[in-house]
Amino acid sequence: MAKYEEISNKVRERIYSGEYPIDSMIPDQNSLARAFGVSRMTIKKALDILAMEGLIYRQRGAGTFVTKTALRNERDSAVDEYDGLSTQMKGRKLVSKSIEFAVEFPTPLIQKKLMIEENEPVYKIVRQRSVDDDLLILEETYMPAKLVPGLSRKHAESSIYAYIKGELGLEFGGAFRQIHADKPKEYDLLYLNCREGDPVLEVEQVVYLKDGRPMEYSKSRNRFDTRSYNVIDIKKDN
């Protein structure tokens, strides 16, 4: 582990432990550099991480301060959907029931989202997923077959992402999501166990690999009364 990461962890610990209390000024960068026996640039880099996390803020000419920790507790709620539900719901009971598993040619919409031609086959995976036996999610996923060779119904029932990261060694770069509210469709009544007139929360996303190739287009539908989508937004400049 790099020095700046170690220092970053230690300082974060000091904030959590109360050694650097809320609203207080922490030691200046030169003092920290001497104390940790590193150069000031390394201290700066360590503090950059904590600033990105919203734990500290800095004022040129004044000092470095611990924020009112506002964004701290909420950090745990952060969602990285490209890690897959299996990772997110660690420690909880996740069951995925595969409703459809097929290979087909992409519709124009899918072609556009996945940036592929009409003759490149895609997997179509429809799953009903449940968390702790009650939270229901209906998920429709498309992946280019070329990118994810050897995918099977078995992976769909456990964790597709574990297969992609573990077996294929692919790395994710990010995702673009749109969250909408929608009226329930026939499928929702059936698989989400919701009533006529209940709204549905839909998360539509394209997940990209590190090099920018789209790897997944999916729509995830949730009962309005069981799930919300959380976003943490930390301003960069100023």
Binding site for DNA (CB under 7 A): 2-4, 26, 28-31, 37-42, 44-45, 47, 58-64
Does the footprint of a second copy cover residue 201 (CB under 8 A)? yes
Rounded-to-10 torsion of CA 209, 212, 217, 219: 90
How many residues at the interface with a second copy, by CB under 8 A? 50
- Contacts with a second copy in 80-139 (CB under 8 A)? 80-82, 115
Of the candidate residues 28, 100, 118, 171, the single one contacting a second copy (CB under 8 A) = 171
Question: Interior CA angle at 21 toward 17 and 23, to 5°?
Answer: 145
CB of 42 to DNA, least distance (A): 3
Q: How far apart are CA 205 and CA 188, in angstroms?
A: 19
Does the footprint of a second copy cover residue 158 (CB under 8 A)? no
Does the footprint of a second copy cover residue 199 (CB under 8 A)? yes
CB of 224 to a second copy, least distance (A): 4
Best CA proximity match to 222, nearest among 205, 204, 200: 200
Of the candidate residues 88, 177, 187, 219, the single one contacting a second copy (CB under 8 A) = 177
CB of 97 to a second copy, least distance (A): 23
Q: How far apart are CA 225 and CA 238, in angstroms?
A: 38
Does the footprint of a second copy cover residue 61 (CB under 8 A)? no
- Contacts with a second copy in 72-91 (CB under 8 A)? 74, 80-82
Does the footprint of a second copy cover residue 181 (CB under 8 A)? yes
Q: Of DNA, a second copy, none, which one does residue 149 interact with (CB within 5 to 8 Å by kind)?
A: none
Contacts of 187-193 with C-beta under 8 Å, sequence gap 24+, read 187/138, 187/221, 188/138, 188/221, 191/99, 191/128, 191/136, 191/138, 192/136, 192/137, 192/138, 192/221, 192/222, 192/223, 193/136, 193/223
Do 130 and 94 contact (CB within 8 A), yes or no? yes
Q: Of a second copy, DNA, none, which one does residue 214 interact with (CB within 5 to 8 Å by kind)?
A: a second copy
> Quick check: helix, strand or coil at residue 5?
helix
Q: With respect to DNA, which residue has the nearer C-beta, 102 or 168?
A: 168
Q: Which residues bind a second copy (CB under 8 A)?
A: 22-23, 54, 57, 65, 67-71, 74, 80-82, 115, 171-183, 197-201, 206, 208, 210-214, 224, 228-235, 238
